[in-house]
Structure 1
Amino acid sequence: MRTTISLIFLTFLALVTAETHTWHYTCNWVDGVNPDGVQERRMIGFNGTWPLPTLRVKKGDRVNLYLTNGFDDRNTSLHFHGMFQKGSSQMDGPEMVTQCPIPPGETMLYNFTVDDQVGSYWYHSHTSGQYGDGMRGVFIIDEPSEDDYPYDYDEEVVLTLNEHYHEESDDLMPKFLSRFNPTGAELIPQNILFNETRNATWKVEPNKTYLLRIINMGRFLSHYVWMEDHDMTIVEVDGIYVEKNTTDLIYITVAQRYTVLVTTKNSTDKNYAFMHRLDPDMLDTQPADLQLNGTNTIMYNEDLGEAESYDLTQDEIDSYFDDFYLVPLSKEKLYDDADYTVTVQVQMDNLGDGINYAFFNNITYTKPRVPTLLTVLSAGDDASNELVYGSNTNSFVLQKDDVVDIVVNNLDTGKHPFHLHGHVFQLIERHEAIEDGEGDPVAYNSSDHADWPEYPMMRDTVYLRPQSYMVLRFKADNPGVWFFHCHIEWHLDQGLAIQFIEDPSGIQNNETQQITDNHKEICEKVGVPWKGNAAGNDVHLLDLTGENVQYKRLPTGFTARGIVALVFSCVAGFAGLAAIAVYGMQDIPDVEERVARDLDVDLDEADDSGAEIVRQTSSTEGSSTHKHLG
């Protein structure tokens, strides 16, 4: 009884102390931005400024963010990366998954409660190309009070990592998704950024412990991060507290977050390098002018100037900390055996339009005509039938509270950081990389695999190694529609995504999940239906006529048209050879006279040796002419 009263009191106290944060932002272009100090370009900002603001809330707080689309030529959206959005799936943000895109001039209200989450997060547009163009910012969730933190520190610092392109996504995307880029080579940035700039300075005080939040908000590249003669103690990843683990080098993919403790030195007689390095293995080519390393300064003494670069050997780089061995502070045990296993195979290939796409199980994600969450809300009993969500959306229906395994087999030679919306998952197995040329891809074998940890590492973004596999496990305890995708934006644009429809009846029966009037208005203004199946059919829900589908595959053999073309080509070739043979073997009358005339030689006055010279010259000229034509 006393425990129940305590819980009621704590719940009441949380409600009383919770705040509501209301923000009004208009996204638009900001001209004259120069993050890397090399070239000006425009970036996407909020209310005419860039970078975007850091948003801070506390656990249990309410968020009301009004986003107005200030563009005049494109839609937009907003996703709070890592937020569970319990009971508010339509606030998750990916367009045509949980919401209609916001058209120019319209405003959408993102309102949700931060429920039982703390740590380092970020927010970004979930409309293609926009967060790479600058529509990204930090989102921090604090504990209700300082006493609630499981570690002590003196001061907090936020550090973001990124890469920077001098061209806008509108110019980059047609180059990437093009038949002239048949291998799907990712476009290479001009620079890497540290807190949205280069050559930054971090001013520190001696003998002080800093809480450093490191967030990779890039669209492509992983970074190695290290400090000269300083250690980092990892205390949180992706919003999950972990048992302290000290290292001198971390590897952070796009969308991942590491929170570390750094204690400064006692003296101020030297400034130290704070280094980050892009992962060159992710580049198909390496331009000569691309700097792999970024050098920043841990500034103890301004009179000493900036620190010099502190490079590591390749062997040191290869020994970065493996997050697989982190243990959640909660000591969350390995979940029970899976009730449902989703096995997917990653592959890159070309379709009939010549463009290189990304596939899960031979399907490249193709947006439906109705946002999937809105299909759930309007499909009635058919919401449990995966067919209503389309044949090209890679949709999986999950039952309430199921334990789900995602087995990802990688046939690709590249690395992939995969992110799951609405959840964190346990990483229970990750096979070593099989580098290109070192062997065939290795797939997961349920009857022959490594031992799984008792307390698996948990986070919302995990990287998959080349030509290998990983096994992820999570609980389907959050009704909603949740995207699972590679967070390399180039790969998402290629279609490397699936979606989970979790507990459809639970979504339908929850009042807070119902589509808002504001959302309906957004859909109507942008011309997207807010009910019906993936094809927009709200009468015959199993009829997908007119749905969006991927391009047809290239034929595996000759088509009828190709066979006809081949036959006619062969006929024409044989006819040409016959003509050459017939005419080439015929005698040409008066050949010597014709050659002599062409060379302006008088045969009547020439002696035998002269005639021989004419014949030799004729032979040489014929050989020369043959080479030229060849």
Structure 2
Amino acid sequence: MNKLISFLFLSLFSTTFVLINSEDPYLFYTWNVNYATQSPLGVSQKVITINGQFPGPRINCTSNNNIVVNVFNNLDEPLLFTWNGIQQRKNSWLDGTLGTNCPIPPGVNYTYKFQVKDQIGSYYYYPTTALHRAAGGYGPITIHSRELIPVPFDWPQEEYIVLVGDWYTKGHDTLKKFLDSGRTLGRPDGLIINGKHGNGDGTDEPMFTMIPGKTYRYRICNVGLKNSINFRIQEHSLKLVEVEGSHTVQNLYDSLDVHLGQCLSVLVTADKTPKDYFFVASTRFTKKALTSTATIRYVGGKGPASPALPEPPAGWAWSLNQFRSFRWNLTASAARPNPQGSYHYGKINITRTIKIVNSANTVDGKLRYAINGVSHVDPETPLKLAEYFGVSDKVFKYDIIKDDPTAEASDKVVVAPNVINGTFRNFVEIIFENHEKSVQSWHLDGYSFFPVAIEPGTWTPDKRKKYNLIDAVSRHTIQVYPKCWAAIMTTLDNAGMWNLRSVLIERQYLGQQLYVSVLSPERSLRDEYNIPETLPLCGIVKSMARPTPYS
């Protein structure tokens, strides 16, 4: 009997030891980044490909997987990638923005390693250097729930990736010269879906196929440069099931708006007459809509898609009402951002309110975009490195903008690195005020937040009475309609240096972004990872000795 007890004890101890020391699975990718000549809109131009693909290869993983991407930069310029919406818990070292990283030089490779910790959903990656995003280099990231965690819908027959966005036929280097000289980019030349433009004439090969009676998941991301997008499928309903990593209440829609930088998932059932149908995408809030199509073919079906394309909705008020209909599915089991506070964010006291006012003006005769009167410029030494090496005073100043800017401050533009000093684990409210006539879109790295309201007019503290403090969809990108404001809430519980930016490429490039520095007082590995030993150094820290690692 004693031997049996000893055997059971040793077996339990051995099993526990294995579980404690086991790591989550690793997925390895090797990317060769090159230029190639392609014609997304029928005009030959230089496009950035990854392993010869445009769009780039899919990172298809499961919650908590470790992702290792070895990037070989074969371009003639420095290169960085960011992982749009991947929170990089405790690891802004690999966020892939110029405020956190030195770019990968031409002819050099660098290996990104990060974990998709406690996340599910639809995301994408793209290059952040120069105007490379205008040349492509983007691709999808899909994160599935672990097998033991139920998903609030039946497993679809298949998943389809739809990367849709506006596109210019001029090369990215020409577009960059426009912005550097003080010009705007102007109107895009067309719209592409997965790197292709469809005219709705039925001559394109099918991009997607569906078996009659089966249900499919379409993951749609707006990877464009300037415009919001509306999409619909002829005669089919769209059941919304996920927005930027959060399961939603499953409402049915005829069409959906997806704004710059945003991703969502819909379920589509092949329950119509077996033939071809068009997936239709159009730009929104433009004088003349740009439209592209992709053919969906029923297996065994006969007949072309109807040339009569469903019209997009009109006006931003329709889009605002659709936003109000989005609700977080609080009964769904899934990886959740900030799980301890996810269900009760409306009961947490606000410790800081930051108002973000976008503006535009000229500096030395050239166009600049600003936040609260400051137009961000990236210094030679990345902000995160300057802070970590203790030389931030030689590179930037904290809090050069005010939390509540005056009208005069937003009218004048100062060009400088723009860094907010955040307090670790504070619960903050950020108000975006859009005084302009165009729709704006904002993204926050490192966090998911709760968009509790979008309303016309100007924000005042009294507006909090109308906040959705129960089931706002946790996400990382928010649109702000013309002459409107938007309010978001989040906990600054992810130590690091994180980018808050306009997703409109010309606004971002010309200064409409800032960084939020969130330092843990204890400077321990519990709160933030050490700087990777292989992380490239540049600027004034290039030859400095690395500080003592956290313990």
Q: What TM-score comes out, normalization by structure 2 length?
A: 0.83
Q: Find the residue that maps to 1:505 and give its secondary structure.
A: coil
Counterpart secondary structure, 2:461? coil
1:523 aligns to 2:537 (yes or no) = yes
1:139 matched residue in structure 2 = 141
Matches within 5 A, 1:160-559: 160-179=163-182, 181=183, 184=184, 186-199=185-198, 201=206, 202-265=208-271, 267-268=273-274, 270-281=275-286, 292-300=290-298, 303-312=302-311, 315=314, 319-320=318-319, 322-330=322-330, 332-335=343-346, 336-351=348-363, 353-379=364-390, 387=398, 392-432=416-456, 442-448=457-463, 450-453=465-468, 454-505=470-521, 513-519=529-535, 522-524=536-538, 529-530=541-542
Larger radius of gyration: 1
Q: 1:507 to 1:450 in 2, by over 3 A?
A: same
Q: How does 1:95-110 map to 2 (within 5 A)?
A: 95=98, 97-110=99-112
Contact 1:348 1:412 in 2 (8 A): no
Q: Distance in 2 between matches of 1:472 and 1:511?
A: 24
The separation in 2 between residues aligned to 1:502 and 1:511, in whole angstroms, is 10
CA contact (8 A) 1:374 1:515 kept: no
Whether the 8 Å contact between 2:163 and 2:221 is mirrored in structure 1 is yes
> Does the alignment pair 1:50 with 2:54?
yes
Q: Contact (CA 8 Å) 2:520, 2:527: kept in 1 or not?
A: no
Give the corresponding residue for 1:573. none
For residues 147 and 207 of structure 1, do their structure 2 counterparts lie closer, same or farther at Cα, with a shift above 3 Å needed?
farther
Q: What is the distance in 2 between the residues matched to 1:484 and 1:317? A: 24
CA distance in 2, matches of 1:226, 1:15: 48
Q: Match for 2:512: what amino acid? A: L
Give the 3 Å change call, closer, same or farther, for CA 477–487 of structure 1 in structure 2. same
Give the counterpart letter for 1:343 in structure 2.
Answer: K
Shift of 1:458: 1.9
1:124 maps to which of 118, 123, 126:
126
Q: How does 1:18-37 map to 2 (within 5 A)?
A: 18-31=24-37, 33-36=38-41
Q: What SS does the aligned partner of 1:492 have?
A: helix
- How big is the shift at 1:345? 1.3
- The equivalent of 2:45 in structure 1 is 41
Gap change, CA 1:71 and 1:298, over 3 Å in 2: closer
Does 1:81 find its partner at 2:84?
yes
Give the paired residue count.
496
Structure 1 residue 325 displacement after superposition: 3.1
User: AA paired with 2:537?
Assistant: C
Percent same amino acid at aligned positions?
20
Q: Higher strand share goes to which structure?
A: 2
Match of 2:296, SS state, is strand
Q: Give me the whole-angstrom Cα distance separating, in 2, the residues matched to 1:11 and 1:417.
A: 48
**Alignment correspondent of 1:439:** none
Instruction: Select 1:154's aligned residue among 157, 162, 165.
Output: 157
Q: Is the 8 A contact 1:415 1:463 kept in 2?
A: yes
- Kindly indicate whether the alpha-carbon contact (under 8 Å) linking 1:344 and 1:409 is maintained by their aligned counterparts in 2: yes
Distance in structure 2 (CA, Å) of the matches to 1:449 and 1:146:
39
Distance 1:68 1:469 in 2: 42
Shift of 1:20: 0.9
- CA distance, structure 2, for counterparts of residue 12 and residue 124 of structure 1: 37
Distance 1:364 1:380 in 2: 22
The Cα of 1:530 is off from its aligned counterpart by 4.8
Query: CA shift at 1:205, angstroms?
Result: 1.3
- Give a deviation string over 1:213-264, Cα, whole Å, max 9, x none: 1111112211111122211111110111112121111111121011111111
- 1:514-546 Cα offsets, whole Å, 9 max, x none, are 322321xx324xx563599xxxxx9xxxxxxxx
How far is the alpha carbon of 1:51 from its aligned partner?
A: 2.8
Amino acid at match of 2:168: Y
After alignment, is 333-342 or 358-367 more displaced? Answer: 333-342
SS of the residue corresponding to residue 398 of structure 1 reads strand
Give distance in 2, aligned partners of 1:115 and 1:355. Answer: 42
Does structure 1 retain, via aligned residues, the 8 Å contact 2:398–2:420? Answer: no
TM-superposed CA distance for 1:468, in Å, is 1.9
Gaps in structure 2 of 5+ consecutive residues: 1-11, 199-203, 332-342, 402-414
In structure 2, C-alpha distance between the alignment counterparts of 1:105 and 1:196, rounded to whole Å: 26
Which range moved further: 54-63 or 385-394?
385-394
The aligned counterpart of 1:569 is none
**Residues 382 and 400 of structure 1: CA distance in aligned 2, closer, same or farther (over 3 Å):** farther
Kept in 2, the 8 Å contact 1:78–1:93? The answer is yes
* TM superposition shift of 1:312: 2.0
Residue equivalent to 2:69 = 65
Q: 2:97 aligns with which of 87, 94, 98?
A: 94
Q: Secondary structure at the match of 1:513?
A: coil
Q: 1:499 to 1:316 in 2, by over 3 A?
A: closer
Query: For 1:401 and 1:170, how far apart are their aligned partners in 2?
Result: 41
Note the C-alpha offset of 1:411.
2.1
**Where in structure 2 are the equivalents of 1:545-584 lying within 5 Å?**
none
1:113 Cα deviation from its structure 2 partner: 1.5
8 Å CA contact retained: 2:399, 2:421:
no
Residue-by-residue CA offset, 1:127-178 (whole Å, 9 max, x unaligned): 1211220110001111222863221122211111022221111101222343
Q: Are the structure 2 counterparts of residues 25 and 362 from structure 1 closer, same or farther at C-alpha, using a change threshold of 3 Å? A: same
| Aligned-pair CA distance for 1:507 | 5.2
Equivalent residue letter for 2:374: I
1:511 & 1:474 partners in 2: Cα distance? 17
Q: Distance in 2 between matches of 1:171 and 1:502?
A: 37
| Structure 1: gaps (5+ residues) | 1-5, 433-441, 533-537, 539-630
3-state SS of 2:104 partner: coil
SS of the aligned residue for 1:414 comes to: coil
Distance (whole Å) between structure 1 residues aligned to residue 235 and residue 397 of structure 2: 54
Q: Give the CA deviation at 1:456.
A: 1.8
Q: C-alpha separation between the residues in 2 aligned to 1:480 and 1:233?
A: 37
- CA RMSD across the alignment: 3.0
Question: Is the 1:24–1:66 contact (alpha carbons within 8 Å) kept by the matching residues of 2?
Answer: yes
Q: TM-score when scaled to structure 1?
A: 0.73
Distance 1:388 1:265, change over 3 A: closer
CA contact 1:219–1:254 (8 Å) conserved in 2: yes
Q: CA deviation at 1:209?
A: 0.9
Q: 1:297 is matched by which residue type in structure 2?
A: T
Separation in 2 of the partners of 1:79 and 1:294? 27
Displacement, 1:457? 2.4
Distance 1:14 1:65, change over 3 A: farther
Tell me the CA shift for residue 505 of structure 1. 3.4
CA 1:304–1:147 in structure 2 vs 1: closer, same or farther (change >3 Å)? farther
Q: Distance in 2 between matches of 1:139 and 1:10?
A: 33
Give 3-state SS (helix, strand or coil) of 1:243's partner: coil
Q: Distance in 1 between matches of 2:366 and 2:20?
A: 53
